A and B are shown apart, each in its own frame.
Chain A
Amino acid sequence: MTTAATADRVGHRPHPPGRTRGRDRVRRADHVAGWAFVSPAVLLIGLFGLVPVIWSLLLSFQQTDLTSPGTWTGAANYRRMMHDPVFWQAARQTVFYSVLFVPITMVLAIPIAVLLNQKVRGMTFYRMAVFVPVVTSTVATGVIFSWLYNPQLGPINAALAKLGLPQQGFFQSPAEALPSVVVMTVWGWLGFAVIIYLSALQNVPRELMEAAALDGCGRVRAFWRIELPLLAPASAFLLVWLTINALQLFDEVYVTTKGGPLHASTVLVYYLYQQAFVDFDGGYAAAIGAVLFVVILAVTVVQLWLGRRTSPYEVS
């Protein structure tokens, strides 16, 4: 990194006088080349990324089914949102889900990453076992957990019966549906968090740990005093990344509970989907989306700010 940066700076030194003569022609060629090179990507990203954001904002002030032209209704969608009990329930449940999912995933991932960082025979296999849910699709995960959680036939209730514990409803119980989704998504995301922590641990220089050992610092203390603080940037990243994804939960809910029973697992994006494609109220869906966008942006900014303030080592 440092060598490249130095080379870069050297390359930027003022050109010798002889070379400035053809500068205008070179400049124009650069403008043409630059625009030619970026235009395919910029056009695609503009068409499918930037324009839709503004368009979506406009939609949120309309009554539209997304197929025929909409009618302007001012802030009616936002006013309706204020007094829509299901919207607020979905918002509360999205927060509930995120507040469980994010910390559980992170707290479990750290010890597992430390374990997988040890030198033990068979480590390739152990790592694979932890990582493989990362590439398992959300649809497949949903199908598999529908079976595991099946109240009549599933193995989890069978195990509970064997232990003499009461049978549970899981996805079919309003009180348990969302916590059951949390367990399922933690299984699916744990490997991702472990990968991030593991790569951060592997960046902890071995000399540092050796020096600590030399000074009589035990393994446990070395973890708390050296490794854990050095994981702070990874934690900051995961906090933001997992929260963004938690606020956008949809696939797993769609495949398993369909937001039920009795809206018990309806989260914001699921509600948005329902409004747009079941009730054909695209304007209201766009308004929900706009609120979600603002929330995600705010959460990200706050977390990045907190992360920067609490990081024990200033990143230079």
Chain B
Amino acid sequence: MAETAAVRTARTGGAAGHRRSGGRSGRPSPLHLVLVPLSALMLAPLVWMVLLSISTEEEARRFPPGLPSGVHWQNYLRAWSEGPFGHWLLNSTIVAVSCVVGNLVFCSLAGYAFARIRFAGSRVLFIAVLATLMVPFQIVMLPTLIVLRHLHMIDTLGALIAPNLATPFGVFLLRQFFTAIPKELEEAARIDGAGRLRTLVKVLLPLMGPILATLSILTFLSVWNDFLWPLIAVQSPGNMTIQLGLQNFQGAHLTNWPVLMAGTVTSQIPVLVLFVLAQRFFVRSIASSGFK
């Protein structure tokens, strides 16, 4: 973001070097009194999901609801035997990873060319790509369905992968970053006789680790959690993603809450584990989806 006038004056004027009071004193901050209930409120639905998934059916039907008497793992065993959760997780992984790889390759190539190569029609093409950024998916999905039917791809994993292999967001994001890298870096390699592709792969991409990771995380999350497109593009249970599978499972287990919640926990585990392990990175990626 660009600097504001106020910020600039503050930078020069406020260099007195005063430290904020407080810091590491012995007394716990009163802010905990707000933060603890806030966290409890935000976590409650997820905690309830886990608690219910280890309750017995009788415990789930108690009113008012209470804590489970013990850990009843059989809910998970039942969920996994009645719904092919492993298969759905595998499908989701295949689809999400393919889309991540596709975006990394195709958006890097296109982003680089739009930023650095002057070629006929580049401006028109780039504007066309940007224009699709504004189009809501619900408009596109009906004809896309027809296109994929002609390609005999309906009800396959390919139908879930193809439309997300290259996204206008990815092209735009990477183009912005290629534009910010100093030209001299590239020119040195070019003078040494390296071709465009070689320069891109050997010189520029290694400098773009963080933004490529951001694109990967955002692509992965949006494809992994997508629901509407799988809902209309896939019918057979064997080709469902985890989200669609879970929704299907919900329809069949509406009354058995512990088993349904065991399935729900199963569907969330991979992303939750990734999130807890790499929270900072997730947050940075999500933040950068807002500000270019």
Interface positions of A (Cβ within 8 A of B): 1, 3-4, 7-8, 11, 30-31, 33-35, 37-38, 40-42, 44-53, 55-56, 59, 66-67, 112, 115, 118-122, 124-141, 143-145, 147-148, 152-155, 158-159, 161-162, 187, 190-192, 195-196, 198-199, 203, 205, 207-211, 213-214, 230, 233-234, 237-238, 241, 244, 247-248, 250-251, 254-255, 269, 272-273, 276-277, 282, 285-286, 289-290, 292-293, 296-297, 300, 313-316
Contacts and interface: CB of A to CB of B under 8 A. Distances in A.
Contact of B109 (A40, A292, A300): A40
Given A41-B166, A131-B279, A250-B228, A33 B117 contact: yes
A145 to B, nearest CB: 7
B42 A7 contact: no
Given A37-B113, A67-B149, A162-B64, 4 more contacts: A4-B180, A137-B224, A247-B136, A282-B142
A207 B15 contact: yes
A30 B119 contact: yes
Interface residues of B, number: 118
Contacts of B144: 48, 52
Contacts of B260: 143
Given A30-B117, A56-B139, A205-B10, A210 B20 contact: yes
Interface string B108-128: 011011100111111001001
Contacts of B146: 55, 66
A138 B166 contact: no
B267 interface: yes
B156 to A, nearest CB: 15
Nearest to B133: A49
Given A30-B117, A313-B6, A119 B22 contact: yes
Contacts of A40: 105-106, 109-110, 166
Given A158-B65, A210-B20, A50 B131 contact: yes
A210 B5 CA distance: 17
A136 B228 contact: no
Nearest to B119: A34
B227 A138 contact: yes
B147 A52 contact: yes
B236 to A, nearest CB: 16
Contacts of B28: 121
A31 B118 CA distance: 7
Contacts of B119: 30-31, 33-35
A3 B268 CA distance: 44
Contacts of B136: 244, 247-248, 289, 292-293, 296
A213 B283 CA distance: 30
Contacts of B129: 41-42, 45
A179 B201 CA distance: 51
Contact of B168 (A49, A112, A141): A49
10 contacts: A45-B167, A112-B38, A119-B22, A120-B31, A129-B40, A187-B42, A207-B15, A237-B290, A255-B227, A293-B135
B60 interface: yes
Contacts of B7: 205, 208
Contacts of A233: 1, 291
Contact of B246 (A119, A140, A147, A248): A140
Contact of B13 (A8, A51, A135, A211): A211
Instruction: Please give me the 6 A-B residue pairs with the lowest Cβ-Cβ distance, nearest first.
Output: A34-B119, A211-B14, A158-B64, A129-B39, A37-B113, A49-B132
Interface string B8-50: 0011011110101011000011011011001110110110110
A297 B5 CA distance: 32
A120 B279 CA distance: 18
Nearest to B145: A66
Interface string B184-219: 100100000000100000000000000000000000
A115 B34 contact: yes
Contacts of B290: 195-196, 199, 234, 237-238, 241
Interface centre among A48, A66, A230 (most CB of B within 10 A): A48
Contacts of A135: 221, 225, 271-272, 275, 282
B268 A136 contact: yes
Interface string B151-186: 000000000001101111001000000011111100
Contacts of B163: 44, 48
Nearest to A238: B290
Given A34-B118, A48-B162, A190-B42, A155 B64 contact: yes
A47 B290 CA distance: 26
